[in-house]
DNA sequence: AATGAATGAGTTTTCATTCAT
DNA sequence: AATGAATGAAAACTCATTCAT
């Protein structure tokens, strides 16, 4: 829910690691950064420490990252990219999904993503300066929102959606924020089916899912009616 | 949506500012902290700079705050307390509010709170270390959620709510997160009536608001029916 | 062994406490200084802390002591004066004392003085900057040495002393240093009779105490030979 | 009289100066510390000043010493080690030394050690916090005392010594303290042959050196007899 | 490319001392 | 005389970054 659905651009890395060796080095640095952040927190996250723990020299660190910030950004990006690996499925599989399926998928993926690397992700959320981080995660959300908007638009007749783009933004943001908050303050809820059900209810309710009533079609609900006639 | 509905306890302040003078000094320091954070960012936020800008000596700063962190916490607390000023109304006025009114109020207050001191709040969200900050804002949310849960419980017959506490948590978190995110990435939405309407729709939908249909009562929607029968 | 045998001069005190109240205040400050030094060490010994612990304001402290150093000096002086209370006896009672008695007294008083306020004295020795302290204690020693020198001179025929002044300096310094060192590193020895005996032996041996051998007097020289006949 | 007869262990140095360069840097820092302490006193002894005066950056200082204290300790240790260079001779050459030779050597070395780096040593004694310093010098003393005790034990028949260990402690402490005190308060004595003679007399007298009296052997002294028979 | 010793500006924090009340 | 809030110079220490090897 917070990963670049596509690929990442040249982050400020000084040099694109072309050789395998370089790639390994960059990986080691990023992973070590994650490890230290996790184990010892933001305070302990110094470039010298990272380099030593990664088994390289500070100089090497600066060969591949112009900045400490760049390294941090790379870490966040990596997380974002791992999130993408999950979201991308949804983005594509959403296409043919029925309304209920789509909603279930959406909710499920939001939860999965939070649970997958909860501790690291939590550490990043809590300890890292958000300056550049936010945009990264937002980009992920935007792409998911775009995919979702498309899907919503395609199912307009079954749903109570006027502005798919705004609705998608609201949905994605809600889910994102809910899982984040829950990760931070009620981590135990993350695994409860009850919580998942509520999230689905939230989405379902918001989308005003219309059930085909075979005999006596219910008149559209107040809210829906109002919504449909309004102009934004 | 993120303020202590009650008052805050003795935070780490070294000395309880009893005299008016002390109070003014503490105020000046906190406001200056806010100002610098706003104008020059986290990097410029050094104790010496704060003190100088506040027109006092560093020593005085440390007379009232044991730590830089304590000062920052005090700032966050102040924001949280200002939020409370708004939330407290809702908490009380919610009691007799009809369902529609309550929802409108809830949404309205969430937006108001974000808009009121948007820039400062944004700065705090983006730049400050969340270590102690999170709990402060969470406390606010919890209290609002409690008030909301009560209200929900009292209107159970009109609503589609099984677990008021969980529902309240979800609602509060959603609204909080939505306004936060929007403040950070789509600040222009914060003032759009469209956005407010959507938030109301989100809440209304989620709560499964039941409309009294005078003639032909619609059979409860699928979702609702399902929900009612499920065991949590 | 380290106290001013006479009285102390105007230490740098800003004002001679004439009133009883002032005297009490000065006392409280000095005693509090000792207490803090003892309980919490040199690091905790700040003027503000001392004043607060003594129940007065810092301003009052500076009313009576121009300096932190002056306060410290006053403490040392007080200790030195307490030592004097003991030494002064020796100084006078030494006059008519026999050689053996004199030696026993000298040694005994050196030990008593170290034992009396061992912890505080130890703290002063270990933690205080010696800048001005040394001279204070030295003055005590000098006076004792003077008294001792006189006594030695008066007993020249029984002793093997050429330069009473130098001998006295050596004796006083030795005893002083021995008790100090022992206090610091072998405090348990301070109470052992064995240690006291050795100190007497040291003095006796050094002074070459001549024993009147009734029958067959050993031939002189040999300071050593003479020494052999002494009884401890 | 105050140096580690052996070598010193890893003190708190952050990094073992393996390269020649590092060694030079550490040396420069320690020597500069000594110089400043000597020239400008304890007050002027700030890490920044030391570093600047040594021609390196503060950072470098902290690369090799975790603490200001560690640097100070290193200085003391260096002095202690230099003392050792002298004492070690005595320790070994004492073995075959006759009683008179041994005593002369002991006294001589005590004086030499004090004279060698009198000003620096004085500064250390007067200005440095003794917290960790004391143990260092004490260790030196203990080792010398051990060597001395052995020598005393080996010459028991010529001397009036019951408990070599205690006697050695007393001797070493006396000499140490006498030279220290004299360095502090009567530095001119340090070079006087008279003073040296007295020290020898002190030791000789205390040890109850027995002279072989060819004709009429004097009966053993009282003290000696008692001492020999008593159990401690 | 890699190293890691060196850098030093910049940060937090302390605490002796003053002075308006 | 007493107070104690205010001062601010100065200290210890950090750590991102560079650059000679």
Query: DSSP assignment of B172-229, as one string?
Result: HHHHHHHHHHHHHH-GGGGG-HHHHHHHHHHHHHHHTPPP--SSSPPPPPHHHHHHHH
Task: Evaluate whether chains A and B are touching (3 or more beta carbon pairs less than 8 Å apart).
Answer: yes
Residue nearest to nucleotide E11 (CA to C1'): B46
The third-level CATH classification (topology) of the domain covering D13-66 is: Arc Repressor Mutant, subunit A (1.10.10)
Partner-chain contact A178 B176, CB within 8 Å? no
pLDDT of res. C190: 92
Name the percent of chain B lying above pLDDT 90.
42
The third-level CATH classification (topology) of the domain covering C75-228 is: Tetracycline Repressor; domain 2 (1.10.357)
Partner-chain contact A177 B174, CB within 8 Å? yes
Query: Nearest by CB to B173, which of A166, A181, A208?
Result: A181
Does CATH place domain C15-66 in 3.30.590.10? no
Q: What is the 3-state secondary structure (H, E, C) of chain D?
A: CCCCCCCCCCCCCCCCCCCHHHHHHHHHHHHHHHHHHHHHCHHHCCHHHHHHHHCCCHHHHHHHCCCHHHHHHHHHHHHHHHHHHHHHHHHHHCCCCCHHHHHHHHHHHHHHHHHHCHHHHHHHHHHCCCCCHHHHHHHHHHHHHHHHHHHHHHCHHHCCCCCHHHHHHHHHHHHHHHHHHHHHHCHHHHHCHHHHHHHHHHHHHHHCCCCCCCCCCCCCCHHHHHHHHCCC
Q: Is the CB of D60 under 7 A from strand E?
A: yes
pLDDT of res. A19: 72
CB pairs under 8 A between C and D: 137
Backbone phi, psi, residue A144, to 5°:
-65, -40
Q: pLDDT digit string (tens) for C63-83? A: 999 999 999 999 999 998 888
CATH code of the domain occupying A14-66? 1.10.10.60
Contacts of A163 in chain B (CB under 8 A): 194, 198
Task: Find the range with the poorest average confidence among A60-74, A154-168, A206-220, D214-228.
Answer: D214-228
Identify the DSSP state of A106.
Answer: H
- Angstroms from D217 CA to nearest CA on chain C: 8
Tokens of A125: 């959320």
pLDDT of res. B30: 95
What is the band of D130 on the pLDDT scale with cuts at 50, 70, 90? confident
Q: Is the CB of C72 under 7 A from strand E?
A: no
* DSSP character string of B64-127: H-SSHHHHHHHHHHHHHHHHHHHHHHHHHHTTT--HHHHHHHHHHHHHHHHHHTHHHHHHHHHH
pLDDT of res. A226: 38
Rounded distance in angstroms from the CA atom of residue B198 to the C1' atom of nucleotide E7: 56
Query: Nearest by CB to C177, which of D138, D173, D195?
Result: D173
Q: Is the CB of D62 under 7 A from strand F?
A: yes
Residue A217: Cβ-neighbour burial (10 angstroms; 0-12, 13-18, 19+): exposed
CA distances C115 to B71, C196, D6, Å, are: 49, 12, 33
Q: Where are the domains of chain C?
A: 15-66, 75-228
Q: pLDDT digit string (tens) for C23-64? A: 899 999 999 999 999 999 888 999 999 999 999 999 999 999
Q: Is the CB of C46 under 7 A from strand F?
A: no
Question: Across residues D49-56, what is the average pLDDT?
Answer: 95
Which of the nucleotides in strand F have any atom less than 7 Å away from a protein CB atom? 1-20
Residue nearest to nucleotide F11 (CA to C1'): D46
Contacts of B125 in chain A (CB under 8 A): 130
Instruction: Show which subunits contact A, needing at least 3 CB pairs below 8 angstroms.
Output: B
Query: Nearest by CB to B211, which of A195, A205, A222?
Result: A222
Task: Find the range with the poorest average confidence among A117-121, A167-171, B17-21.
Answer: B17-21
CA pair distance C45, C47, nearest whole angstrom: 7
Contacts of C229 in chain D (CB under 8 A): 218-219, 221-222
pTM of the prediction?
0.81
E strand or H helix that includes residue C193: helix C193-207
Rounded distance in angstroms from the CA atom of residue D25 to the C1' atom of nucleotide E6: 11
Residue C100 has pLDDT above 50, yes or no: yes
Angle of helix C164-185 relative to helix D133-154, nearest 10 degrees, comes to: 110
pLDDT of res. D127: 81
pLDDT of res. B61: 96
Question: Across residues B53-61, what is the average pLDDT?
Answer: 95
What is the band of B226 on the pLDDT scale with cuts at 50, 70, 90? very low
Instruction: Show which subunits contact C, needing at least 3 CB pairs below 8 angstroms.
Output: D
Partner-chain contact D226 C218, CB within 8 Å? no
Tell me how far the alpha carbon of residue B67 is from its chain's centroid.
25
Q: Is the CB of C48 under 7 A from strand F?
A: yes
Residue B8 has pLDDT above 90, yes or no: no
Closest chain A CA to residue B218: A218
Partner-chain contact B216 A216, CB within 8 Å? yes
Does CATH place domain D75-211+222-229 in 1.10.357.10? yes
Tell me which residue has tokens 């670049």. A4
Residue nearest to nucleotide F13 (CA to C1'): D62
Residue B232 has pLDDT above 80, yes or no: no
Question: Across residues B211-223, what is the average pLDDT?
Answer: 45
Partner-chain contact C198 D166, CB within 8 Å? yes
Contacts of D166 in chain C (CB under 8 A): 194-195, 198
pLDDT of res. A18: 60
Q: pLDDT digit string (tens) for D138-187? A: 888 888 899 999 999 999 999 989 899 989 988 998 898 889 888 888 88
Query: Nearest by CB to B202, which of A125, A134, A206?
Result: A206
Computed over every residue of chain B, the mean pLDDT equals 81
Name the percent of chain A lying above pLDDT 90.
43
Task: Find the range with the poorest average confidence among A197-201, D42-46, D82-86.
Answer: D82-86
Partner-chain contact A178 B178, CB within 8 Å? no
- Angstroms from D158 CA to nearest CA on chain C: 12
**CATH number of B16-65, picked from 2.70.180.20, 3.40.50.10440, 1.10.10.60, 1.10.10.10:** 1.10.10.60
Q: pLDDT digit string (tens) for A28-84? A: 999 999 999 999 988 899 999 999 999 999 999 999 999 999 999 999 999 988 888
E strand or H helix that includes residue A133: helix A130-154
Identify nearest nucleotide to residue B19 by CA to C1′ distance. Answer: F5
pLDDT of res. D202: 92
Partner-chain contact A126 B131, CB within 8 Å? yes
Q: Is the CB of C37 under 7 A from strand E?
A: no
Residue A113 has pLDDT above 50, yes or no: yes
Closest chain C CA to residue D214: C219
Question: Across residues B2-27, what is the average pLDDT?
Answer: 59
Contacts of C225 in chain D (CB under 8 A): 211, 213, 218
Q: pLDDT digit string (tens) for B94-131? A: 888 899 999 999 999 899 988 888 888 888 887 887 76
Rounded distance in angstroms from the CA atom of residue B52 to the C1' atom of nucleotide F7: 12
Q: pLDDT digit string (tens) for A148-161? A: 999 999 999 999 88
Tokens of A149: 């908007």
Residues 68-87 of D with CB under 7 A from strand F: 68-69
Query: Nearest by CB to B42, which of A129, A201, A230?
Result: A129
pLDDT of res. A51: 97
Q: pLDDT digit string (tens) for B177-201? A: 889 888 888 888 999 999 999 999 9
CA pair distance D11, D71, nearest whole angstrom: 10
- Angstroms from D55 CA to nearest CA on chain C: 29
Q: pLDDT digit string (tens) for B128-157? A: 877 678 888 888 888 889 999 999 999 999
What is the band of B210 on the pLDDT scale with cuts at 50, 70, 90? low
Residue C226 has pLDDT above 80, yes or no: no
Judge contact between A146 and A169, C-beta under 8 A.
no
Instruction: Show which subunits contact D, needing at least 3 CB pairs below 8 angstroms.
Output: C
What is the band of A7 on the pLDDT scale with cuts at 50, 70, 90? very low
Confirm whether A14-66 and A72-211+222-229 share one CATH topology: no
Computed over every residue of chain D, the mean pLDDT equals 81
Q: pLDDT digit string (tens) for B158-172? A: 998 889 998 998 899
Looking at domain B76-210, its CATH architecture is Orthogonal Bundle (1.10)
More confident residue, B216 or A176: A176
Q: pLDDT digit string (tens) for D6-33? A: 334 445 555 554 567 788 999 999 999 9
Count H helices and E strands in chain C, helices first. 10, 0
**CATH number of A72-211+222-229, picked from 3.30.450.40, 3.40.50.2300, 1.10.30.50, 1.10.357.10:** 1.10.357.10
């Amino acid at each position: 829910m917070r990963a670049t659905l596509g690929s990442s651009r040249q982050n400020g890395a000084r040099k694109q690691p072309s050789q395998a060796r370089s790639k390994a080095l960059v990986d080691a640095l990023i992973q070590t950064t994650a490890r230290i952040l996790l184990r010892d927190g933001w305070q302990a996250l110094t470039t010298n420490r990272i380099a030593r723990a990664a088994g390289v020299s500070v100089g090497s660190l600066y060969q591949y990252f112009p900045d400490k910030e760049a390294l941090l950004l790379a870490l966040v990006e990596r997380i974002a990219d791992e999130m993408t690996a999950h979201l991308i499925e949804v983005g594509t599989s959403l296409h043919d999904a029925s309304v209920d399926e789509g909603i279930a998928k959406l909710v499920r993926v939001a939860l999965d993503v939070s649970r997958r690397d909860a501790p690291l992700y939590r550490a990043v959320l809590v300890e890292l300066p958000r300056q550049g981080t936010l945009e990264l995660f937002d980009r992920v959300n935007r792409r998911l929102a775009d995919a979702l908007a498309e899907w919503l638009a395609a199912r307009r007749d079954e749903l109570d959606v006027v502005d798919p783009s705004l609705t998608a933004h609201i949905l994605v943001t809600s889910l994102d924020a809910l899982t984040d908050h829950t990760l931070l303050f009620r981590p135990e809820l993350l695994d409860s089916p009850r919580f998942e059900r509520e999230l689905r209810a939230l989405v379902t309710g918001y989308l005003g899912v219309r059930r085909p009533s075979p005999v006596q079609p219910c008149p559209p609900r107040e809210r829906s009616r109002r919504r449909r006639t309004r102009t934004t």
